[in-house]
Amino acid sequence: MMKFCNFELQLVVLTFWFCNRLKTEYIIFYQQLMKTALFIDRDGTLIVEPPVTYQVDTLDQMTFLPGVLRNLYFIRKNCSFELVMVTNQDGLGTDVYPQKNFDTVQGKMLEILKGEEIQFDQIFIDKSFPEDNLPTRKPGTAMLTSYMDGSYDMTHSYVIGDRLTDVMLAKNLGCKALLITSSVETAEKELKEAGLADSCAKVVTSWNQIAEFLFAGERVATVQRTTKETDIFVQLNLDGTGKCDISSGLGFFDHMLEQIGKHSGCDLTIHVKGDLNVDEHHTIEDTAIALGEALLSALGNKRGIERYGYCLPMDDCLCSVALDFGGRPWLVWEADFQREYVGDMPTEMFLHFFKSLSDSAKMNLNIKAEGTNEHHKIEGIFKALARSIKMAVKRDIYKYELPSTKGTL
Ligand SMILES: [Mg+2]
């Protein structure tokens, strides 16, 4: 058996590390050279698909989905995707769907797009019926083999469509889909049932969301914070839909944290294992720290955000939370509580939670609340915080600037 002296062993480890590093750098460099594409469905995605016939065969039926022209132009100008149209046109060229009718609509659509400086690099049309089971028909990839020869970076390419077959096409191509729909909840349920959830990057309801996703990405952060007192996992998506998965071991605290996710529109997962055998203090304080870190991390470069948020929700109470993601912590707290506990949460920890949150997210928080029902009062504060976050993180890719005159936040 070979024996290494300490120096030789270090040399082997160093060489191994260097080769691995070189390999990673090469993969990144190679990916940058590779092309990326958007495989875009036509009916139901670019233009409205008529019910019953599902055929757009006259000009008066042709209507673009809202925001298609503006956002496709933005994508064309600001992203490096090739635009590839992939469409199934059942029975095209037969008596039930004359070629002439299709050509009239398709020609007009392409003419309008061209007028907006949007041109497709390739257009693929399958004319078969579903029962033909041809490999060229979506979700088959037989028309798209040239994109699967290794010259395209499929991990950064997307299928954009309105049906599960479009998501299946993405799966078959080795990329992900952006599924456009009117109901995110229904679509996500259907994706899950079909086992396609992992092949869909995002379910969207508008072309504004598609352009924002492709240009600026989703603002997500994961924080794992482990000490001898608490073990905390936080996952935050500022561009989510308000989905929550919260468990802190404190029922009332869970209820409050759910207000943040639900009313801010952010997807929020918080799992906490705290030393509740001591008391509630570390669990609440450390959760605020981890959540603040997640907020700061997810905000990233803060370009295009509103930055400020302000809200005044009311039950029997009047609560306001104004915030500024300006990069500095500060807390103004004007809320008195007479009870020692609300649920299983000590009222003295309310101030401590928001102070810790403000410190770790580096944001100003100005919180005021008045009223008599203490459950309503603290719940109003959490809801107002959520709405303020929703206002402040709102991002505009058409005004993608840092909202600061000093040039940093
Ligand atoms: Mg479609």
Average pLDDT of the chain, as a whole number: 93
**Catalytic pick from 41, 126, 162, 254?**
41
CATH level 2 (architecture), domain 31-216: 3-Layer(aba) Sandwich (3.40)
**Cβ of 44: how many Cβ atoms within 10 Å?**
19
Contact status, residue 205 vs residue 182, Cβ threshold 8 Å: yes
C-alpha of residue 356 to centroid of ligand 1, in Å? 48
- Span from the CA of 345 to the centroid of ligand 1 (angstroms): 50
Is position 41 annotated as part of the catalytic site? yes
Ligand 1: centre distance to CA 43 (Å): 4
Residues 220, 244, 402: CA angle, nearest 5 degrees: 30
pLDDT at 26 over 70: no
Any catalytic annotation for residue 316? Answer: no
What digits encode the pLDDT tens for the residues 181-232?
Answer: 999 999 999 999 999 999 999 999 999 999 999 999 999 999 999 999 999 9
Q: What is the pLDDT of residues 383-400, one digit of tens each?
A: 999 999 999 999 999 999
Give the pLDDT confidence score for residue 50 in this predicted structure.
Answer: 86
**The domain 220-398: what is its CATH number?**
3.30.230.40
For residue 24, the model assigns a pLDDT of 66
Compute the distance between CA of residue 274 and CA of residue 281 in angstroms, rounded to an integer: 9
In this predicted model, which residue has the larger pLDDT, 149 or 52?
149
pLDDT at 271 over 80: yes
Q: Compute, in angstroms, the gap from residue 126 CA to the centroid of ligand 1.
A: 13
Residue 378 Cα to ligand 1 midpoint, Å, equals: 47
Q: Give me the pLDDT at residue 3, please.
A: 58
The Cα–Cα gap between 138 and 124 comes to: 10
Which pLDDT tens digit goes with each residue over 104-140? 999 999 999 999 999 999 999 999 999 999 999 999 9
Domain ranges of the chain: 31-216, 220-398
For residues 210 and 179, what is the distance between their CA atoms, to the nearest angstrom? Answer: 9
